[in-house]
């Protein structure tokens, strides 16, 4: 399970973009988004860095842990 905090994810449109970005990389990925806490959990076999880079390119840079 991969977990990111995306501080710039603030609305429903953001959730849609994040979801589409994850599914474009792995259509079988399971995604859980908690908008109030800006957390995204991704269940996928792909490495976290793959998702982090793609999300960053969409403007949703994961916060440093």
Q: Break the chain into its structural domains and give their ranges.
A: 2-57
User: Over the stretch 47-62, which tens digit does the pLDDT of each residue have?
Assistant: 999 999 999 999 999 9
What is the arithmetic mean of pLDDT over 28-54? 96
Q: How far apart are CA 29 and CA 43, in angstroms?
A: 6
Distances (CA, A) of 11 to 35, 43, 62, 63: 7, 22, 16, 17
Mean pLDDT of 9-21: 96
Taking the model in full, what pTM does it have? 0.92
Q: What is the mean pLDDT of the chain?
A: 95
3: pLDDT strictly greater than 70: yes
At residue 29, the 3 state secondary structure works out as coil
Q: What is the pLDDT of residue 65?
A: 54
| Domain covering 2-57, topology | Alpha-Beta Plaits (3.30.70)
């Amino acid at each position: 399970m991969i977990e990111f905090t995306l501080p710039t994810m603030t609305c429903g449109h953001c959730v849609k973009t994040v979801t589409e970005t994850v599914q474009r990389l792995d259509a079988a990925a399971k995604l859980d988004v908690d908008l109030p806490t800006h957390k995204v959990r991704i269940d996928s076999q792909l490495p976290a860095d793959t998702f982090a880079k793609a999300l960053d390119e969409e403007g949703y840079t994961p916060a440093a842990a």
